[in-house]
Structure 1
Amino acid sequence: MSGKKRACTSCQRNGRLTCRRTRLGEPCLKTDPLECVDLLSRARVAFRAGRTIVEVFRLAQLEAVVRMLEEHECDFVDALGRDLHKPRFETVVSELILVKNEALHAINNLKKWMQPQHVERNLSTTLDECLVFSEPLGVVLIVGTWCNPVQTCLVPLVGAIAAGNCAVISPCECTAHTAELLHRLIPFYLDNECFHGIRSGTHVLPEVVELKFDHVFFTGNREEGSRIATAAARTLTPVTLVLGGKNPCYVDQHCDISTTAQRIAWARFHNAGQSLVAPDYILCHTDVQAQLLQALKCCLMQFYGSDPRESRSYGRMVNLEIFNRTRDLLWRSGKVAVGGQVIEAEKYIAPTILTDVAESDPIMHQDIFGPVIPVLTVNNIEEAIAFINKKEKPLCVYAYSTNSKVISRLMSETSSGSFCSNDSILQSLMVALPFGGVGSSGMGSYHGRQSFETFSHRKSCLLRGTRFECVTYLRYPPYEDHNLSLMTWANTLSQRSQGWCQIL
């Protein structure tokens, strides 16, 4: 049923306005801390009652997510248009379709995922049953980011639902219209006791985390992620962190320059460069720098015309804070080869390519959340690998080359959350590929089956009877050398023994 036709029952509970709205179009107020406590308490009661355990409930909630996206596609397009000047094409492809794919994949595979996994038996467990049972963690907190506010909230939510959890979702306040839309629609489509949306500023999120959830899933920058992890550590709450980073992009002298330029330009400048997974800088082989720059310039003309400001396919910065930060990085680093125009009143920064960038320039030491890409040159693959390895481990590494040995070296001799050759970003969107960071770019991963695993506890279960006490008595005191000899001998009977105390 459409959200426009249903009343929000969670808003009517005991006369309190937990969502502070009853119909679409009303202004959204920030969630009071006491309301967060109330929502968490209600979710815990629902979880303990077993509402989320059964498969049919999980399927119904996943189907409701798909229905919400389909019935309110225009609302999401409008909200992201207001927040980011995001073109409809980008909203549908990079936000809505991505979430629907995740939900449909979970629906199609949920029965298999929920089944206990049997493990290999050994000599001492021949007549026992050894299995791993995936149980839900409880009530989880999901914190999205402004770069992709729909997918960073709802893709993890799909995993949390599939795994049988209750969830509290906190969209980023920077994308206010999208946050308000999610805040309205969640009570209309999802179970009002198990799933809740809150409006919390980043400065109070650590306090929310300290309310003690069973898992916290955070997507955002490193500074905020560090605060979230610190707050979670105080209550021993496990976290998944997907953080930004300086994602390098190596362009080899042996590559298809035209295709390379198109794919890099698309990845860097879609959503006006506001992306955790876009190439952050290019390490270009000296021999092809001039060709690459010319090809990139042609791509920008083809994508956005002679004046990207007038293009319906080009976005804007989310707010003045991000605008000013990106503009300052642009002005203090390298030389503008293409673009460089800024209009503060419109939060507009033209697609910009920088050359003559020094490693010491500010833009090489801060994450770029804007439509600017520096181009540095290297003389060979060894220089590129050394340059990448000097820095913190990034979320993504990209390599463009027709030489398979070059691709193999970049993949095996650098460390990153993910790797993609001859394209960009796609490895972070595929439902079959786990995606996440490593080191300073985050911890944990998600997408598809991995999302289910992230929000599950894999409980080891050994089901055995009371037979064969004539053998197991050997483990009991008083300890005798004869008994130890028998146990050691029994353990040598199998070449595939996994530990000498199996006979216990």
Structure 2
Amino acid sequence: MSGKVKACYACQRNGRLTCRRTRLGEPCLKTYPLECVDLLRRARVAFQAGRTLKENFRLAQLEAVVRMLEEHECDFVDALGRDLHKPRFETVMSELLLVKNEALYAFSNLKKWMQPQHVERNLSTTLDECLVVNEPLGVVLIAGTWSSPVQMCLVPLVGAIAAGNCAIINPSECTSHTSELLHRLIPLYLDNECFHVILAGASDLPEVVELKFDHVFFTGNREEGNRIAQAAARTLTPVTLILGGKNPCYVDCQCDIATTAQRLAWARFHNAGQSLVAPDYILCHADVKARLVQALKCCLMQFYGPDPRESRSFGRMVNLEIFNRTRDMLWRSGKVAMGGQVIEAEKYIAPTILTDVAESDPIMQQDVFGPVLPVLTVNNEDEAIAFINKQEKPLCVYAYSNNSKVISRLMSETSSGSFCSNDSILQSLMVALPFGGVGASGTGSYHGRYSFDTFSHRKSCLLRGTRFECVTYLRYPPYEDRNLSLMTWASTLSQKSQGWCQIL
């Protein structure tokens, strides 16, 4: 067989399962649920054989992830360039380095994470051993989104590997070149029985979920997340959902306008605005609105020049569906203060600032995955907090102010998956902080130790001997008042000395 030809298990439904082959560089055909049955079976056999349990195995797989990213950096840059017109700088910084940091952090801390955790004993377990053991869940499904197609697949995968699971990864069909690259590379670096890449479309994913995994980790929009959660519920499969949402950003009258504008412009317009964690709209104090809008205009000119279409630092919409939705919202909302140009043939939307935006405008009714930043006006932080709390709980809340009391109020009086003051997005990238949603923006969290915990079962273990039956016999029938009195007295002593009560 030619070296340029590789096997691809992708198939088409022609009454039965058929296999096809593709050439390197061509998008792989879809993987349908019938094929996933075999991959799931292979992964489950590998897990049940204990293949993933050893620390050395997990370390070797984490090391292989890092090696894959280092040896194929140019391939990832090329694939993301084809899919999203993503600049090399953004690919390396927000995709590859982030995954490498996660893998290296897990590599350095794995021994500590795997150790059983001893817990406080009570009077009746003084001579026993009470501990919590981290068990891998089994075979997990990781479904990534198109906005960060490498990061959203591989960061959860690092946690699944560290926790000792087998995994099936489903990259987004929207970023076909990146998905094909992961489909090709992962079998070359990771264990071929424990880790598999499938290419199921969004419409097929609920059917895949119903095949019964031990955990499903999904990143995407709320509509798809709702379908995934319903499919998982039918087999009682636990889920982690990292969903989108309209992330608000309050800009106070007491802030450094120039720095605020730079950080906001970077956060909103990197990756052409296609981000789950970017600020979705600004609630700007009326006293500084004009200055902020002007500063944002200056930043966009500095970042992308007079014609962002010619800039090597600005991306494109992932497909025409996202392009059309964003363009239609833009044209039907507010007033364009800067930008607004669109070219359908290139899936290009210029970095756009909207003013005079009303709460009822289309841009405020849907998640925005594009380079459009609506600016609304409020008179103080009270109005901003009230506005935020009227909406569904977002994935992120941002606040810019030099007044610590204002920051404290925004942080404590709103609810969101995460919070960041005087910057944006960074809280979602740190390995030491958990990241996830709340309410409508998702459930569960990941990054660093929190990824390990997400893919682990914390099993309670009590290791007892058979001594002191002279005490424990008090709990056995036939029940006597004298025995109850003795146990109550002993529990009272335990409560006084340890602050809690138990004697069994």
Q: TM-score of the superposition, structure 1-length normalised? A: 0.96
Other-structure match for 1:230: 230
Paired with 1:19 and 1:150, the residues of 2 have a C-alpha distance of 26
C-alpha contact 2:63 2:103 (8 A) present in aligned 1: yes
The 3-state SS of whatever aligns with 1:397 is: strand
C-alpha contact 2:272 2:314 (8 A) present in aligned 1: yes
The 3-state SS of whatever aligns with 1:503 is: coil
C-alpha contact 1:142 1:157 (8 A) present in aligned 2: yes
- How far does the alpha carbon of each residue in 1:165-218 deviate from its partner, in whole angstroms, 9 at most, with x for none? 000000000000000000111111100000000000000100000000000000
Other-structure match for 2:361: 361
Other-structure match for 1:371: 371
Other-structure match for 1:210: 210
The 3-state SS of whatever aligns with 2:493 is: coil
Paired with 1:137 and 1:447, the residues of 2 have a C-alpha distance of 17
Give the 5 Å matches for 1:153-192.
Answer: 153-192=153-192
- How far does the alpha carbon of each residue in 1:97-124 deviate from its partner, in whole angstroms, 9 at most, with x for none? 0000000000000000000000011211
Other-structure match for 2:111: 111
Q: Residue type matched to 2:240 in 1?
A: T
Change (3 A) 1:278 1:398: same
The 3-state SS of whatever aligns with 1:493 is: helix
Change (3 A) 1:496 1:174: farther
Other-structure match for 2:407: 407
- How far does the alpha carbon of each residue in 1:221-260 deviate from its partner, in whole angstroms, 9 at most, with x for none? 0000000000000000000000000100000000000000
Paired with 2:390 and 2:132, the residues of 1 have a C-alpha distance of 40
- What is the Cα deviation at residue 9 of structure 1? 9.4
Other-structure match for 1:88: 88
Other-structure match for 1:39: 39
In the alignment, does 2:414 pair up with 1:453?
Answer: no
Paired with 1:357 and 1:82, the residues of 2 have a C-alpha distance of 34
Give the 5 Å matches for 1:22-61.
Answer: 24-61=24-61
Other-structure match for 1:263: 263
Paired with 2:169 and 2:351, the residues of 1 have a C-alpha distance of 33
Other-structure match for 1:393: 393
- What is the Cα deviation at residue 269 of structure 1? 0.2
The 3-state SS of whatever aligns with 1:202 is: coil
- How far does the alpha carbon of each residue in 1:119-170 deviate from its partner, in whole angstroms, 9 at most, with x for none? 0112111100000000000000000000000000000000000000000000
The 3-state SS of whatever aligns with 2:317 is: coil
- What is the Cα deviation at residue 23 of structure 1? 7.1
Change (3 A) 1:123 1:488: same
- What is the Cα deviation at residue 32 of structure 1? 3.0
Other-structure match for 1:147: 147
Paired with 1:19 and 1:252, the residues of 2 have a C-alpha distance of 59
- What is the Cα deviation at residue 33 of structure 1? 2.2
- What is the Cα deviation at residue 8 of structure 1? 7.6
Change (3 A) 1:452 1:385: same
Other-structure match for 1:14: none
C-alpha contact 2:26 2:180 (8 A) present in aligned 1: no
Moved over 4 A (4+): 4-11, 17-23, 496-499
- What is the Cα deviation at residue 492 of structure 1? 1.1
Paired with 2:21 and 2:69, the residues of 1 have a C-alpha distance of 20
Q: TM-score of the superposition, structure 2-length normalised? A: 0.96
Q: Residue type matched to 1:36 in 2?
A: C
Other-structure match for 2:313: 313
Change (3 A) 1:262 1:496: farther
Paired with 1:349 and 1:26, the residues of 2 have a C-alpha distance of 27
Other-structure match for 1:299: 299
C-alpha contact 1:436 1:445 (8 A) present in aligned 2: yes
Other-structure match for 2:422: 422
C-alpha contact 2:7 2:21 (8 A) present in aligned 1: no
- What is the Cα deviation at residue 389 of structure 1? 0.3
Count of aligned residue pairs for this structure pair: 495
Uncovered stretches (5+) of structure 2, i.e. residues with no partner: 10-16
Paired with 2:359 and 2:292, the residues of 1 have a C-alpha distance of 20
Paired with 1:329 and 1:452, the residues of 2 have a C-alpha distance of 39
Moved more, 19-28 or 336-345: 19-28
- What is the Cα deviation at residue 28 of structure 1? 1.1
Change (3 A) 1:403 1:69: same
Change (3 A) 1:26 1:324: closer
Change (3 A) 1:179 1:493: same
Q: What is the root-mean-square deviation in Å for CA atoms of aligned residues?
A: 1.7
Paired with 2:348 and 2:341, the residues of 1 have a C-alpha distance of 8
C-alpha contact 1:55 1:111 (8 A) present in aligned 2: yes
The 3-state SS of whatever aligns with 1:219 is: strand
C-alpha contact 1:10 1:193 (8 A) present in aligned 2: no
- What is the Cα deviation at residue 31 of structure 1? 1.2
Paired with 2:308 and 2:236, the residues of 1 have a C-alpha distance of 48
- What is the Cα deviation at residue 480 of structure 1? 1.1
- What is the Cα deviation at residue 26 of structure 1? 4.7
Other-structure match for 1:352: 352
Q: Residue type matched to 2:228 in 1?
A: I
Sequence identity of aligned pairs in percent? 86
Other-structure match for 1:221: 221
Moved more, 21-30 or 466-475: 21-30
